[in-house]
Structure formats: C-alpha cells, structure tokens
C-alpha cells in the first residue's frame, strides 16, 4: 500500500495545480519543504481531513481564494528587522539616492508593511521622503490591507524601538506613530508616501523604473528557476546602477546571478545593478 505521506504529496501537487488552473496563482515553483507546511496549515484551518476534499471548495468558492493566498504567503515581518541592514542602507544607499531630485523605491513582498514603513522612517530622517515614491507590493490582499492601515500591535513596540535605535535612528521612535488602546498607527505623513499594490513576482512584469529594490526573505521561498526569473525581473526594473537589497541569508550564487549585480555590502546583502547584460 502506498504510504500516506506519498499520497499527501500527490494531493499537494493537485491542489497547487487547481489553484493555478482556476485562478492563475502559480505556487508550483515555490521551495517545496516550506510550501508543504503552509499547504498543510491551510488544510488544518478547514474541517476537512485531506487536501483532496478541499479541492472542490477551492475550485468553486471564489471567496475562499483570498484566504488560501493569505495562508500560503504567511506574512511574517517586523520593523527594522536586522537593524545592521537598515544602517547599511542609510550609510551606503541613501547618500546616492540623495543625488536624485526624485526617485522610486520598490519593496517586493511587503507583507503587512513593517519593513516598508521602516524604510520610510529612514528616508524621512535623511530628508528624502518628499522626493521618494515608494511602491510596496505583495500577492496577499489581506496583508496589503493591513499594510495600508499601518496599524500594529503594541506588543511588538519594545522590540521595534530597540531595532530602530540599533539601525541608527536619529529621533524617537514615538515620533512616527500614534498609540491607541493596544495598537499604534504609523503617521499619515509616512503612509501617504507609499503606494500599496498587488503584484505577483511569478507572473507580473516590470511596472516602473526604480532606484532601489528591497526584497528580503522572499527568494528563500522560491525554487532555483523562479529565483532566477525574479532576479532577472529586478535587473530589468532597476535604473542604471540601481540598488538591490536581499535577505541576509539569501544568495545570488545558487542561481549564478552574480553577473547581474555587483556586491556593495556582502553582510547586509546590498548589491548594485551591473551594466552588462548577462
């Protein structure tokens, strides 16, 4: 008899195929091990005991789609995560952006917005916020709504405050939000500078020319083929000598994309677009 886990692997395949054929969301090139966890978590949130039973609902209940996407792209982020990276951006990237009268920034995979607000705070402190147009994109509509609201739990505040200081924050973190009954909300002044939009790195293309792309801990969820595709998309989207910032544990080596970008800071994972097309 076939092992249960092998049957489950077939079901995962069918589930992802159904999602793609019915709605065009292609998760088939996501890294398998973590995707499996997420698919099984999606199942665990339903009354069904097998994925096969969930497929009819996925196919026929359009309202269920948003829920599935939210489950499959679990948004976990924090403000000024890896403070040294933000410090490096402040020291190595912002001075270059300063030479532009106007510039565009794209955060790909913004989830619930913690990171893009961190960036906005930093731009503000460097006097660059007014010159910046920031695009923050994700495939998760639920997360995008939360990001747009800019409302976060007070529980995380002490950690964020600490991160902000370590990232070289120049003011008081409390200058950037209004606190209210267990929550704090990022100031309108910052929120209004960011356009939150739906964009799928798997299937959507270039939407504007940008001077900085922030995409941290997104590529780790993609297989090599998809990583390569997305790095190509970033290369195309960046202006000449534009900057790319990846997650600290990510690498260009695995998909041999070193020819596309030159390292600026290997620890903070900041790169610059290479002129020569590979």
Partner 1 sequence: MALSTYNNDVPEIQYTHRTAEAIAIGCSAGGLDALCVVLQALPPECASAVIIVAHTAPDGNHLLPALLARRCRFPVSVAYEREPVLSGHVYVAPPNYHLLIEADRSFALSVDERVCFVRPSIDVLFYSAADAYREKLAGIVLTGANSDGALGLEAVKKAGGYTLVQDPRGAYADTMPKAAIATGAADKVLPLDALATELGLLCSVPPKTR
**Residues at the interface with partner 1 (CB under 8 A):** 5, 31-34, 36-38, 74, 76-77, 83, 217, 220-221, 224, 247, 249-251, 254
Cβ–Cβ contacts within 10 Å for residue 109, how many?
A: 24
Query: For residues 79, 83, 88 and 91, what is the CA-based torsion angle, rounded to 10 degrees?
Result: 80
The CB-side HSE value for 59 (13 A sphere, CA atoms) comes to 11
- Gap between the Cα atoms of 106 and 208, Å rounded: 9
Cα separations in angstroms, 258 against 114, 251, 264, 266:
29, 9, 12, 12
**Shortest spacing between CB 270 and partner 1, in angstroms:** 18
Which lies closer to partner 1 via its Cβ, residue 112 or residue 237? 112
Q: Positive or negative CA dihedral for 116, 119, 120, 121? A: positive
Cα separations in angstroms, 271 against 84, 89, 134, 179, 233:
15, 11, 19, 36, 15
Cβ–Cβ contacts within 10 Å for residue 266, how many?
A: 9
Which lies closer to partner 1 via its Cβ, residue 168 or residue 247? 247
- Gap between the Cα atoms of 179 and 201, Å rounded: 34
Residue with tokens 């292609």, as numbered in its chain: 26
- Gap between the Cα atoms of 54 and 160, Å rounded: 39
Which lies closer to partner 1 via its Cβ, residue 71 or residue 137? 71
**Shortest spacing between CB 164 and partner 1, in angstroms:** 13
**Shortest spacing between CB 41 and partner 1, in angstroms:** 9
Which lies closer to partner 1 via its Cβ, residue 197 or residue 220? 220
Which lies closer to partner 1 via its Cβ, residue 113 or residue 242? 113
Which lies closer to partner 1 via its Cβ, residue 96 or residue 220? 220
Which lies closer to partner 1 via its Cβ, residue 115 or residue 124? 115
**Shortest spacing between CB 79 and partner 1, in angstroms:** 13
Of 136, 121, 113, which Cα lies nearest the Cα of 176? 121
Q: Are 249 and 55 in contact (CB under 8 A)?
A: no
**Shortest spacing between CB 213 and partner 1, in angstroms:** 18
**Shortest spacing between CB 217 and partner 1, in angstroms:** 5
**Shortest spacing between CB 156 and partner 1, in angstroms:** 13
């Amino acid at each position: 008899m076939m092992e249960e886990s092998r049957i489950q692997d077939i079901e995962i395949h069918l589930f992802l195929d159904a999602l793609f054929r019915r709605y065009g969301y292609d998760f088939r090139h996501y890294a398998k091990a973590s995707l499996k966890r997420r698919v099984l978590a999606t199942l665990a949130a339903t009354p069904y005991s097998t994925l096969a039973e969930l497929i009819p609902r996925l196919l026929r209940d359009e309202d269920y789609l948003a829920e599935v996407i939210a489950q499959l792209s679990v948004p976990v982020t924090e403000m000024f995560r890896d403070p040294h990276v933000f410090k490096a951006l402040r020291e190595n990237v912002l001075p270059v952006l300063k030479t532009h009268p106007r510039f565009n920034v794209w955060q790909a995979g913004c989830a619930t917005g913690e990171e893009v607000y961190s960036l906005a705070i930093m731009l503000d402190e460097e006097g660059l916020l007014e010159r910046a147009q920031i695009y923050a994109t994700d495939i998760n509509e639920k997360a995008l709504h939360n990001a747009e609201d800019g409302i976060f739990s007070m529980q995380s505040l002490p950690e964020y405050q600490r991160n902000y200081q370590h990232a070289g924050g120049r003011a008081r973190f409390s200058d950037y939000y209004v606190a209210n009954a267990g929550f704090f909300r990022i100031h309108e002044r910052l929120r209004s500078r960011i356009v939150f939009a739906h964009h799928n790195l798997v299937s959507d293309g270039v939407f504007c020319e940008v001077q900085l792309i922030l995409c941290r801990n997104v590529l780790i969820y993609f297989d090599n083929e998809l990583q390569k595709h997305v790095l190509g998309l970033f290369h195309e989207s960046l202006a000449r000598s534009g900057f790319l910032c990846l997650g600290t544990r990510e690498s260009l080596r695995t998909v041999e994309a070193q020819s596309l970008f030159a390292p600026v800071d290997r620890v903070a994972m900041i790169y610059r677009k290479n002129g020569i097309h590979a």
